[in-house]
C-alpha cells in the first residue's frame, strides 16, 4: 500500500545501479522509471486507458505549454490535469526551464522577473517567474514539481554555464519558498554545469543546501556525445544524496537509459517512443525497426507476438508498412503504443536485473543493441 506522504526508498543496488520506490498519495513509482511525455495533457496518439495497460506509473506534463492552453483557470475549474485528462496516477511537471532554451528566440532572461516569453502561439507577453511556474504547477495539481531553471544550450563557455548556475540557484530558492510545505507532493531541484565536473558539483552543493525532495540533472541530452553524458554522470552522481531520487531530464534512447542507470540515475522522460512512432520507427526486442522499409512489405509477423494490448499481436509488419505508405494515422497510433509497451518492458527488465544482481550482464547485452 502506498503512503500518504511523498517519500523515496532505496531498496537495493547492483554496482551504482539503484532499485527504489517513490511513494506518493496517487501511487507508487518503481525506479528506475520511464515517464511518457504528455506535454499538452496528452501522450500523443495513445489513449489514457492504454497507457495504464503498459504499466506506466507516472507521466510528464509541461508547465509552459499548459499555461498557454488550456490555461490556469480551466485547469483549476477541473481540479487539475488528472481529472481533465482522465489520468489517476502521478504526474510530474517540467517547470518551463527547457522552453527557455528550446524557444530562446521567443524569450529573454531577467534574474528578478524570470523568463519573459513572447508566446509562440499569439505573440502575447508572458512572464514566467519561479513563483509563477510553481503556481501553474499547483493549478495542474502535479505530484512532482520542478523548480524553474535556466537550461543553457550546449556550450564549453564556463562563464555562460556559471551564470546559469547563479540564475538557477536563485530561482530554486524562490521556487521552494513558493512551494511551501506540502508533504504529499515532491519538489525537485535542477542541477546545471554543462560537462564540467567542478561546476556540476558546485550546483549540487548549492541545491543540497536549499534542500529538495529529489534532484534532476538538467542541461544534458542537448547535443553532447553520449559518452560525454555518461562521463559527467559517472563523475557527479556520487555527490547526490543516496536517499533522494535522481532524475535525468529529457532522456532518451534505450541505450541512454541503460548507461545512465549504470551511473545511478532513477528517473527518465522522453518523447522518443511516440515521436518515433509517428515516423514509423518501432522499438522491439529485435532492435529498432524502420517499418517504412520495403523489406517489411510481405512480413506476416507482428512486432510482438505476445502483446494483447489493443490486440497488437494481430497486426503484421506488412500491414503497418501499408498504413505508413498510405499515410494513415492508425500507423502512428499502433507503433507509438508498441513503443510505450516496449519501454516499460525494458524498465521492468532493468529493475528485475538490479534486484537479481545481474544488471551488469543485462547492460553488456543491450548497451549497443539499440544504437
Q: Which residue out of 14, 50, 256, 269 is catalytically annotated?
A: 269
Burial class (CB in 10 A: 0-12, 13-18, 19+), 1: exposed
Q: Is 268 left (phi over 0), alpha (psi -120 to 50) or beta?
A: beta
**DSSP state at residue 141:** T
What's the gap between Cα 237 and its chain centre? 18
CB 59 within 8 A of CB 51: yes
Query: Which whole-number Å values give the CA distances from 282 to 3, 51, 172, 228, 305, in the listed order?
Result: 37, 17, 38, 27, 14
* Residue 308: active-site member: no
Residues with Cβ within 8 Å of 131's Cβ and at least 6 positions away in sequence, in order, are: 174, 175, 178
Per DSSP, the three-state class of 308 is coil
Distance CA 339, CA 7 (A): 29
> Which of 14, 50, 94, 149 is flagged as catalytic?
94
13 sits in which H/E element:
strand 7-14
- Given CA atoms 79, 80, 82, 83 in this order, what sign does their dihedral have? positive
Does 94 qualify as catalytic in the annotation?
yes
Question: CB within 8 A of 107, min separation 6: which ones?
Answer: 99, 100, 115, 116, 117, 118
Active site residues: 94, 269
Amino acid at each position: 500500500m502506498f503512503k500518504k506522504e511523498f517519500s523515496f526508498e532505496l531498496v537495493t543496488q547492483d554496482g551504482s545501479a539503484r532499485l527504489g520506490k517513490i511513494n506518493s498519495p496517487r501511487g507508487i513509482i518503481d525506479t528506475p522509471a520511464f515517464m511518457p511525455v504528455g506535454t499538452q495533457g496528452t501522450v500523443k496518439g495513445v489513449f489514457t486507458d492504454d497507457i495504464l495497460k503498459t504499466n506506466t506509473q507516472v507521466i510528464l506534463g509541461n508547465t509552459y505549454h499548459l499555461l498557454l492552453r488550456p490555461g490556469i483557470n480551466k485547469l483549476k475549474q477541473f481540479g487539475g490535469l488528472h481529472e481533465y485528462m482522465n489520468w489517476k496516477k502521478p504526474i510530474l511537471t517540467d517547470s518551463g526551464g527547457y522552453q527557455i532554451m528550446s524557444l530562446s528566440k521567443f524569450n529573454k532572461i531577467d534574474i528578478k522577473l524570470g523568463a519573459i516569453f513572447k508566446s509562440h502561439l499569439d505573440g502575447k507577453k508572458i512572464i514566467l517567474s519561479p513563483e509563477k511556474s510553481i503556481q501553474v504547477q499547483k493549478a495542474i495539481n502535479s505530484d512532482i514539481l520542478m523548480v524553474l531553471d535556466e537550461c543553457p544550450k550546449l556550450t564549453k563557455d564556463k562563464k555562460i554555464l556559471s551564470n546559469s548556475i547563479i540564475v538557477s540557484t536563485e530561482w530554486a530558492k524562490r521556487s521552494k519558498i513558493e512551494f511551501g510545505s506540502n508533504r504529499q507532493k515532491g519538489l525537485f531541484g535542477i542541477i546545471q554545469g554543462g560537462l564540467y565536473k567542478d561546476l556540476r558539483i558546485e550546483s549540487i552543493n548549492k541545491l543540497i543546501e536549499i534542500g529538495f525532495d529529489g534532484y534532476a540533472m538538467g542541461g544534458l541530452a542537448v547535443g553532447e556525445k553520449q559518452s560525454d553524458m555518461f562521463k559527467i554522470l559517472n563523475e557527479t552522481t556520487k555527490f547526490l544524496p543516496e536517499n533522494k531520487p535522481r532524475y535525468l531530464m529529457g532522456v532518451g534512447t534505450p541505450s541512454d537509459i541503460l548507461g545512465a542507470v549504470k551511473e545511478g540515475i532513477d528517473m527518465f522522460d522522453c518523447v522518443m517512443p511516440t515521436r518515433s512512432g509517428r515516423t514509423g520507427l518501432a522499438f522491439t526486442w529485435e532492435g529498432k525497426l524502420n517499418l517504412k522499409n520495403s523489406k517489411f512489405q510481405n512480413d506476416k509477423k507482428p512486432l510482438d507476438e505476445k502483446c494483447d494490448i489493443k490486440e497488437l499481436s494481430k497486426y503484421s509488419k506488412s500491414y503497418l508498412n501499408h498504413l505508413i505508405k498510405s499515410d494513415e494515422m492508425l500507423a502512428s497510433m499502433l507503433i507509438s503504443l508498441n513503443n510505450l509497451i516496449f519501454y516499460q518492458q525494458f524498465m521492468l527488465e532493468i529493475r528485475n536485473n538490479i534486484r537479481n544482481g545481474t544488471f551488469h550482464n543485462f547492460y553488456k547485452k543491450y548497451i549497443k543493441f539499440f544504437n
